[in-house]
Amino acid sequence: MKKILVTGALGQIGSELTVALRQKYGESNVIATDVRPNNKATLANGPFHIADVCNPGTLAEIVNKEKVDTIFHLAAILSARGEKDPQFCWNINMGGLMNILELARTNGVKEVVTPSSMAVWGPNAPQFNTPQESALKPTTMYGVTKVCGERVCDYYVQKYGLDCRGLRYPGIISSETLPGGGTTDYAVEIFYDAVKTHRYSCFLSAESTLPMMYMPDCIHATISLAEAEFKNLKHHSDFNVAAFSFNPKELAEVIKKFMPDFQIEYNPDFRQAIADSWPKSIDDSAAREEWNWKPKYDIETMTKDMLEILTKKHAAGLI
């Protein structure tokens, strides 16, 4: 049985990935960590430790004591927060990743899974069906750390034989935990405001098309890549993954099918420039070929599910 450590476990993805990993591998075999105290009842049934990825002593103690063999490293600063404090973004994203890779290399950890992002691309990359292999010239510090992160993970594969794997997630949409400071956050916030007030003020313009994915597909992709046979992988830390693309106007039209009086207005802010630098759709054929990636949700089924879950939470006074 695997013994897993998750960093950034309280975040948008970590809070759901940790639960899915515990269902699969057993509650006591998945150790959740984050820089802040656990505020989630859903994570109360398994081990949790406060641990800063920039101060790896605590993580080293856990890895050795618990004989951890797999790390899912999710702790990071996302694009919008990163543009407000680029040096902080570099320190957490690159400093934290280097600490995790060295911890793994020197303590017998077999596998490190860490997400990359569509933020690796900049305005010079092809905007539609962006290929697996295309110029990586991001214009955000977050994107710079994701390109460097992919390169350093592949270096550890090649130099030390450490099994590192990663996916370039698009924007992730979910109903359990609000996102932590990205440019695609609007596609989650819109659902919370829809169920609460039937209105949303969007920080991107109506025509800002971006690639997106629903959380159940994100969890499925992450665990599928983690479990794929290493010998079948030609890529390691930089798999394109995609599900569907839309712009705020198109998403609002789908929400209106379920909530006819829903209204949206557009007030673009600094995040517009970040969105404009990213692709509109992504070619994920390498992931499909190498580990059978295939998403289940489209914009309609995702929207229906999000509205049903959040409407129930709102009625129960949880949001």
The residue ranges that bind ligand NAD (CB under 6 A) are 7-8, 10-14, 34-36, 52-54, 74-76, 78, 92, 96, 115, 117, 169, 171-172, 179-182, 184
74 contacts which partner out of ligand NAD, ligand SER, none, CB within 5 to 8 A by kind? Answer: ligand NAD
Burial of 265 (0-12, 13-18, 19+ CB in 10 A): exposed
Concerning whether 297 is annotated as a catalytic residue, the answer is no
Q: Which is nearer to ligand SER, 33 or 184 (CB)?
A: 184
Q: Which of 182, 248, 279, 295 binds ligand SER (CB under 6 A)?
A: 182
Q: For residue 283, which amino acid is it?
A: D
Q: Which is nearer to ligand SER, 70 or 140 (CB)?
A: 140
Q: Does 247 bind ligand SER (CB under 6 A)?
A: no
In the chain, the largest separation of any two C-alpha atoms, in whole Å, equals 58
- Mark residues 159-178: x for contact with ligand SER by CB under 6 A, - for none: ------------x-------
Using CB positions, name the residue nearest to ligand SER: 182
State in angstroms the smallest separation of the CB of 194 from ligand NAD: 19
* Closest to 137 measured CA to CA, from 118, 124, 151: 124
What backbone phi and psi angles, to 5 degrees, belong to 206? -55, -30
248 contacts which partner out of ligand SER, ligand NAD, none, CB within 5 to 8 A by kind? Answer: none
* Closest to 158 measured CA to CA, from 218, 242, 101: 101
Q: Does 117 bind ligand SER (CB under 6 A)?
A: yes
Contacts of 87 (CB under 8 A, 6+ apart): none
183 contacts which partner out of ligand SER, ligand NAD, none, CB within 5 to 8 A by kind? Answer: ligand SER
Q: Does 29 bind ligand SER (CB under 6 A)?
A: no
52 contacts which partner out of ligand NAD, ligand SER, none, CB within 5 to 8 A by kind? Answer: ligand NAD
Which one-letter DSSP state was computed for residue 130?
B
**Of 252-311, which residues contact ligand SER (CB under 6 A)?**
none
Q: Does 76 bind ligand SER (CB under 6 A)?
A: no
Annotated catalytic residue, options 25, 142, 169, 214: 142
What does the alpha-carbon distance between residue 161 and residue 11 come to, in Å, rounded to a whole number? 29
**Site residue total, ligand SER (CB under 6 A):** 9
Q: Which two tokens stand for residue 221?
A: 């992709």
State in angstroms the smallest separation of the CB of 197 from ligand SER: 23
Contacts of 242 (CB under 8 A, 6+ apart): 170, 211, 213, 281, 282, 283, 284, 295
Q: Does 79 bind ligand SER (CB under 6 A)?
A: yes
Strand ordering across the sheet containing 244-246: 171-173, 210-214, 244-246
What does the alpha-carbon distance between residue 114 and residue 213 come to, in Å, rounded to a whole number? 17
Q: Which of 7, 15, 29, 183 binds ligand SER (CB under 6 A)?
A: 183
Q: Which two tokens stand for residue 205?
A: 């313009």
* Closest to 100 measured CA to CA, from 144, 143, 48, 62: 62
What backbone phi and psi angles, to 5 degrees, belong to 278? -100, 160
Residues that are catalytic: 142
**Interface residues toward ligand SER, by CB under 6 A:** 78-79, 117, 119, 142, 171, 182-184
